[in-house]
Structure 1
Amino acid sequence: MEQFDVLVIGSGPAGEGAAMMAAKNHKSVALIERHFEVGGGCTHWGTIPSKALRHAVKILHDLRRNPLLREFRGANQLTYPQLLASATKVVESQVASRRRFYERNRVPIFAGEASFVDAHTVEVQPSMGKSQRISAGHVVIASGSRPYHPPGIDFSHEHIRDSDSILRYPEHPFAVTIYGAGVIGCEYASIFINLGAKVTLVNTQDRLLSFLDDEIAEALSYHLREQGCVIRHNEQFKALEARERDVVLHLESGRKIKSDLLLWANGRTGNSQQLQLDRVGLTSNTRGQIAVNGHYQTAVGNIYAVGDIAGPPALASAAYVQGSHAVQHILNPSIEPHRLEMVPSGIYTIPEISSIGKSERELQEEKVPYEVGHCAFKNLARAQMTDERVGMLKIIFHAETLAVLGVHCFGDGASEIVHIGQTVMASRDLNNIRYFTNTTFNYPTMAEAYRVAAYNGLNRLT
């Protein structure tokens, strides 16, 4: 039986972060991956292919609306399968890069399904051949998640898909119903509406993405509707009628929605069912997630859980840092807990959304004195040149100390722009709204929205 200092289960962002941190600190580390290639769900059927698809759709959208390119007729004939194919090379490149990371750092990869024997021993069952056991001082569970499948829905039907299988849909849909208006649902609503499909987005809540700042969530809702998306709030699933050529979604309200494609995007489940957690005294909740502390340590001291299987925020970006932090805690148990509040969110709708820090609603509930600075992108020279006028940057800052408390952005490039605010918020010396008025931004850029928004907020102070 082979023995290592650290054993990592899963090669997605969380597993990679853990494995690389252990290897860089000269710990013997091994990785178990049940898929035929490294990268996890993020690379193969999640973040990478879906965002590559979104990028292809965005290019198509820009071609169709740009007056300089209106004569380009081919753009109107591209189909969903053709656009999906454009993501293949990105996935292949990502897999090759990640494989090299493990090779260069001498991290052996064991192919197969992992299950616990005891707290220090894991059995690996390959798809063919005999199983083997691996022993380790510490185990990091980074097995990821999969789309939630409620009982009674036949996901083998060709017109019923989840967020994984939608990336293998072989036709160009005419009408799409999306059940679940979370991040994934909103992203695919943007994709299909910009492909010219009729989209109905069914939301079980009373507003879109309630974790976002209200103003940003309202802006997204407005622009989805403006693009032609029908949004149904406060609706609950009753039944699904799968027919030969279409699907009818029955809701508790009595509403019936017919479409040729239904995308079920209502939650995800942690991949814990095969791990035999009971053998080490651990359990998972109803969504397959394992409880952890601020260091991603489970109730069993030498076992950690990171990424989607540890619950929110369930972001690829956060998962990598979570895996890294778990191993840092193994190396030095006295380190501070990971600060989740400094993890930015990125939502790749069209236009995209990104935010970090507090929302207005949260600050109102906490009775923190604050002020807000806005910059509408339509007023920026760069946005006018690129014709990306939709959106805004919103900076929330303390009305007395002027410390930046939150940055919320809606519009093209939002996921890049937010990092300027993140850097300022993370710095004890720089965190002041006046930093944005005192620094020099390239002109014309979208980044100068920070200067405009800062002046707008400071002018509101009494």
Structure 2
Amino acid sequence: MFRHDLLVIGSGPAGQRAAIQAAKLGKSAAIIEGRGIVGGVTVHTGTIPSKTLREAVLYLTGWTQRGLYGQSYRLKQHLTMDDLMQRLEITIRNEVGVIEHQLTRNGVHLIKGWGSFLDPHRVQVATPEGQALEYIGEKILIATGTSPLRPSSVPFDDATVIDSDGILKLKKIPRSMTVIGAGVIGIEYASIFSAMDVEVTVVDGRTQMLEFLDREIVDELAHELRSRGVTLRLGEKVASIENNGSRATILLESGKRFNTELVMYAAGRIGSVKGLNLENAGLKADDRGRIKVNGNYTTDMPHIYAAGDVIGFPSLASTSMEQGRVAACHAFGKAAPSVPEYFPFGIYSIPEISMVGATEQDLTGMNVPYEVGTALFRETARGQILRLEDGMLKLLFGLEDRRLLGVHIIGEGATELVHIGQAVMALGGTLDYLVNTVFNYPTLAETYKIAALDAWNRMPD
């Protein structure tokens, strides 16, 4: 039997940061990882793979250069999945190496095997060699992440009908693809495959995609996708999917029927708690596998914590890292601020989208008076150099105190540019700061000043 101050189940972003934080506080920390290799969903099937595939597609299709050389420009005329997988394998291998080095350097012990609770303090690990080892944790963190939802009504075969993890196992790039689910994962993959000239259809029962985003930004994205031939069937529910082996037939409740070479079901994820035997620890998860926690990420058992996607919203790698760190600090009596109020969302679609703060619909719903300032990327010198035809920055300012309340970006480098607005918001910055500050020229960051001036011109005296 082995004993540790902190026992972490799962080696994704939350688990990594929690274990390293505990080690830096002088505690013995260990991570239990069933895959046998660190990184969790983020590295192996989620964030890193999808973003790496996106970059590979942008490069190999010549997408970012078409504004200069025309829509017919291609770096490689006939893309294959092998072309994409080569870059992915290199990226994952290097990222795993970085994580392993960080854990080793901080003295975090890696336990390979699947963990399950025996009681609130004891965890049994089934090792790849067939052993059953017992570990005791003074404190325990559950950071097992999520997995794709696979309803029994969907005829998955991991070839013609797949979930989002199945993208990485494709043998060839399909000629047509239907994505069921217009959430972040669905829209990211729909836009990535459409950039490879795949005929893409998106189906979702909701009338709006990406409902948490500002409506104007979503409208821009929808316009861009439709201009590339993507069919958006929103407000439509799937009645049935018939898997015919080499293709699938989709029947919608409205009576519409169409064929597709590949179906990707991306309508939800579920917490990876199966096999944990949470009941032995005095815990339970809801019907979506999520574990309830308080503001310090403590579960109903005071010494057991949970962090990352397994606790639900916002289910971002970035916030999961902070949740794990905060949980470890609380576990060992180290004061730590909670996860910041203003954290950014990044959607790695083509085009890229990012936001922080309130949307127009949020402010309207709260009866907060505001003014809007916008700037188009093509209006900047940097935008002309890059030949950007699309892209915009939208800022929301409070009318009463002139504070920056929301930042919304679509286009090149959106997930990088958003951090300027995030910093201004976190420090209580106002319209006047952005109007009076100086940005490098030529840069896309100049759009902050342009948008601020646009709002300033609209402000009442």
The one-letter code sitting in structure 1 at the alignment partner of 2:125 is V
C-alpha change, 1:406 and 1:67, in structure 2 (3 Å) is closer
Deviations 1:50-90 (A, max 9, x none): 11110111122426725548897652212233223221100
Q: Secondary structure at the match of 1:293?
A: coil
Q: Secondary structure at the match of 2:155?
A: coil
**Matches of 1:456 and 1:131 in 2, distance apart?**
65
**Matches of 2:373 and 2:67 in 1, distance apart?**
31
2:304 aligns with 303
2:175 is equivalent to residue 174 of structure 1: yes
Q: Secondary structure at the match of 2:240?
A: strand
1:364 aligns with 364
Q: Secondary structure at the match of 1:284?
A: coil
**Matches of 1:435 and 1:47 in 2, distance apart?**
34
1:14 aligns with 14
C-alpha change, 1:70 and 1:460, in structure 2 (3 Å) is closer
Q: Secondary structure at the match of 1:447?
A: helix
Q: For residues 57-68 of structure 1, what are the structure 2 equivalents within 5 Å? A: 57-59=57-59, 60-62=61-63, 65=66, 67-68=68-69
The one-letter code sitting in structure 2 at the alignment partner of 1:398 is G
Identical-residue share of aligned pairs (%): 41
C-alpha change, 1:333 and 1:202, in structure 2 (3 Å) is same
Q: Is the 8 A contact 2:66 2:72 kept in 1?
A: no
Q: Is the 8 A contact 2:354 2:414 kept in 1?
A: yes
**Matches of 1:190 and 1:70 in 2, distance apart?**
16
The one-letter code sitting in structure 2 at the alignment partner of 1:316 is A
Deviates more, 1:67-76 or 1:307-316: 67-76
**Matches of 1:74 and 1:446 in 2, distance apart?**
25
Deviations 1:95-138 (A, max 9, x none): 01111111111111111111111111111111322111111111
The one-letter code sitting in structure 1 at the alignment partner of 2:358 is K
**Matches of 2:25 and 2:296 in 1, distance apart?**
18
The one-letter code sitting in structure 2 at the alignment partner of 1:256 is R
TM-score (norm: length of structure 2): 0.96
1:126 aligns with 127
Q: Secondary structure at the match of 1:118?
A: coil
Deviations 1:192-250 (A, max 9, x none): 11101100011221111110011111111111111110000111122110002101122
2:145 is equivalent to residue 144 of structure 1: yes
**Matches of 1:265 and 1:453 in 2, distance apart?**
35
Q: Is the 8 A contact 1:178 1:263 kept in 2?
A: yes
2:166 aligns with 165
2:456 aligns with 458
1:116 aligns with 117
**Matches of 1:179 and 1:99 in 2, distance apart?**
36
Q: Secondary structure at the match of 2:216?
A: helix
Q: Secondary structure at the match of 1:356?
A: strand
2:233 is equivalent to residue 235 of structure 1: no
**Matches of 2:303 and 2:118 in 1, distance apart?**
14
1:275 aligns with 276
The one-letter code sitting in structure 2 at the alignment partner of 1:342 is Y
2:444 aligns with 446
Q: Is the 8 A contact 1:64 1:76 kept in 2?
A: no
C-alpha change, 1:192 and 1:112, in structure 2 (3 Å) is same
1:432 aligns with 430
Q: Is the 8 A contact 1:142 1:309 kept in 2?
A: yes
2:387 is equivalent to residue 387 of structure 1: yes
**Matches of 2:143 and 2:199 in 1, distance apart?**
37
Tell me how far 1:36 sits from its aligned partner.
2.2
Tell me how far 1:389 sits from its aligned partner.
2.9
Q: For residues 213-224 of structure 1, what are the structure 2 equivalents within 5 Å? A: 213-224=214-225
The one-letter code sitting in structure 2 at the alignment partner of 1:389 is E
Tell me how far 1:271 sits from its aligned partner.
0.4
Q: For residues 324-363 of structure 1, what are the structure 2 equivalents within 5 Å? A: 324-332=325-333, 337-339=338-340, 341-363=341-363
Q: Is the 8 A contact 1:7 1:30 kept in 2?
A: yes
Tell me how far 1:390 sits from its aligned partner.
0.8
The one-letter code sitting in structure 1 at the alignment partner of 2:387 is D
Q: Is the 8 A contact 2:67 2:389 kept in 1?
A: no
Q: Secondary structure at the match of 1:186?
A: helix
TM-score (norm: length of structure 1): 0.96
The one-letter code sitting in structure 2 at the alignment partner of 1:130 is Q
The one-letter code sitting in structure 2 at the alignment partner of 1:48 is I
The one-letter code sitting in structure 1 at the alignment partner of 2:308 is G
**Matches of 1:251 and 1:81 in 2, distance apart?**
34
**Matches of 2:337 and 2:108 in 1, distance apart?**
27
Q: Is the 8 A contact 1:81 1:172 kept in 2?
A: no
Deviates more, 1:406-415 or 1:61-70: 61-70
Q: Secondary structure at the match of 1:75?
A: coil
**Matches of 2:108 and 2:261 in 1, distance apart?**
46
Q: Secondary structure at the match of 1:76?
A: coil
Structure 2: 5+ residue stretches without partners: none
The one-letter code sitting in structure 1 at the alignment partner of 2:151 is P
**Matches of 2:280 and 2:95 in 1, distance apart?**
35
How well do the aligned residues superpose, as a CA RMSD in angstroms?
1.6
Q: Secondary structure at the match of 2:425?
A: helix
The one-letter code sitting in structure 1 at the alignment partner of 2:35 is H
Deviations 1:367-417 (A, max 9, x none): 111111111111011011111231111111111211111111111100000
**Matches of 2:47 and 2:158 in 1, distance apart?**
24
**Matches of 1:15 and 1:117 in 2, distance apart?**
20
C-alpha change, 1:150 and 1:443, in structure 2 (3 Å) is same
The one-letter code sitting in structure 1 at the alignment partner of 2:101 is R
